[in-house]
């Protein structure tokens, strides 16, 4: 550690993120972290690993900076990168053994919900569900019984229900549970679950952490070292659930703009939610930033600086009305995913298929960083248009 580093004042997370923790690579002192693609590392004549690396499966230098930055932003002990959000979730869920209990919310990422139901049934794990925003429902789900894992997703996809992390963590810990929070939508810009009592926080880093629709990645952060954390580390090592060096480099690139992206998207989402809430063609707007949203008070207490870039709406005309609206949008792209610089729309019920909990008129909006005036204008013309527009947006 240099003298300059020792005397440096405590930096705000925005600065740490923008500078990627300020690491300068030797010998060329690159302002941008170099890409590390080597899979193995040479020993010296005595057989010593002088570079400190054995094999890139879980020791790629490309992981060092993004993992350290994410751990710092979440105020955690350590972070691990994985090849997808699903891989990050499964790294946590593999802690479960047959006969143990897992408690999950009813509203959660659809692909994970489907996988969890199959996984727990196959292994003989007791699965109990609770209503995301109801502590009474969570108490009933825990039922005073020893529980291995309590899963929280907040805000929850695609209804954006908000769970009180501090209160839910206390309830989970009272029955011996490890508490996991999927904070993909909030990001450490808006909420830090580990500071509110959670044991682990996970992200689909594909979404806001990367923010450019060009990386599939996941991440897990631990509040402290533990046997469970070491088991997760072994799972990544021995199971081979690793991220490529180039993808890790892209992820760090994306995280350097995390704060301005999330804050811009949150401001725009707030303005759009308020505008939609007053539109006669819109039946319902789900966004925790609206004062009338049933989750607003909890969200205001545990989210700082905004309520995220995700909202869902229900429009007049049922399934057909939702399809007509999605098809009429010109600036919003109809695509699966969220959390990037471009705005997206998705008609969720048909995508999720049989067993979906979504109303058939629900549309999920991911707000990007475009001019909010342009986004509102696109929504306005789509709500007023009875016909489908041309396939491509005319940028002339």
Euclidean distance between CA atoms 13 and 16, whole angstroms: 5
* Greatest Cα pair distance in the chain: 77
Sequence-distant (≥ 6) Cβ neighbours of residue 145 within 8 angstroms: 101, 175
Given a contact cutoff of 8 angstroms between Cβ atoms, the answer to whether 242 and 60 are in contact is yes
CA angle, residues 264, 268, 273, in degrees to nearest 5 = 150
List 113, 148, 192, 207, catalytic entry = 207
List 58, 161, 182, 378, catalytic entry = 182
Given a contact cutoff of 8 angstroms between Cβ atoms, the answer to whether 326 and 345 are in contact is yes
Q: Give the count of beta carbons closer than 10 Å to the beta carbon of residue 308.
A: 30
Euclidean distance between CA atoms 239 and 282, whole angstroms: 47
Active-site annotation holds for 57 = yes
Active-site annotation holds for 109 = yes
Active-site annotation holds for 207 = yes
Sequence-distant (≥ 6) Cβ neighbours of residue 300 within 8 angstroms: none
List 58, 63, 109, 287, catalytic entry = 109
List 57, 117, 263, 333, catalytic entry = 57
Show the tokens assigned to 129. Answer: 């569900």
Active site residues per annotation? 57, 109, 182, 207
């Amino acid at each position: 550690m240099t003298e300059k580093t020792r005397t440096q004042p405590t930096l705000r997370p925005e600065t740490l993120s923008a500078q990627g923790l300020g690491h300068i690579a030797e010998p060329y002192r690159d302002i941008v972290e170099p890409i590390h693609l080597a899979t193995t590392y040479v020993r010296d004549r005595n057989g010593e690993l002088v570079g400190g690396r054995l094999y890139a499966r879980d020791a790629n230098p490309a992981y060092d900076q993004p993992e350290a930055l994410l751990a710092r932003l979440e105020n955690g002990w350590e972070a691990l990168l994985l090849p997808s959000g699903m891989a990050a979730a499964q790294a946590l869920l593999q802690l479960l053994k047959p006969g143990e209990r897992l408690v999950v919310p009813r509203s959660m990422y659809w692909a994970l919900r489907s996988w969890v139901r199959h996984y727990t049934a196959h292994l003989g794990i007791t699965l109990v569900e609770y209503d995301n925003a109801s502590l009474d429902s969570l108490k009933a789900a825990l039922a005073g019984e020893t529980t291995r894992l309590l899963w929280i997703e907040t805000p929850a996809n695609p209804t954006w229900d908000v769970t009180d992390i501090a209160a839910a963590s206390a309830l989970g810990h009272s029955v011996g549970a490890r508490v996991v929070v999927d904070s993909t939508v909030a990001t450490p810009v808006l909420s830090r679950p580990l500071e509110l009592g959670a044991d682990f926080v996970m992200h689909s880093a594909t979404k806001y952490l990367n923010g450019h629709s060009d990386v599939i990645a996941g991440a897990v952060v631990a509040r402290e070292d533990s046997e469970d954390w070491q088991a997760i580390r072994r799972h990544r090592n021995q199971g081979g659930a690793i991220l490529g060096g180039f993808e890790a480099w892209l992820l760090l690139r994306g995280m350097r703009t995390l704060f301005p992206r999330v804050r811009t998207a949150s401001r725009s989402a707030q303005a759009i939610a308020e505008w939609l809430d007053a539109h006669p063609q819109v039946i319902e707007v789900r966004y925790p930033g609206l004062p009338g949203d049933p989750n607003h008070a909890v969200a205001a207490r545990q989210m700082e600086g905004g309520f995220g870039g995700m909202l869902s709406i229900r429009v007049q005309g049922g399934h057909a009305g939702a399809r007509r609206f999605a098809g009429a949008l010109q600036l919003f792209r109809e695509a699966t995913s969220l959390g990037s610089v471009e705005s997206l729309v998705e008609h969720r019920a048909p995508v999720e298929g049989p067993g979906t909990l979504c109303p058939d008129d629900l549309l999920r909006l991911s707000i990007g960083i475009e001019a909010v005036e342009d986004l509102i204008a696109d929504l306005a013309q789509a709500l007023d248009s009875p016909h489908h527009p041309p396939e491509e947006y005319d940028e002339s």
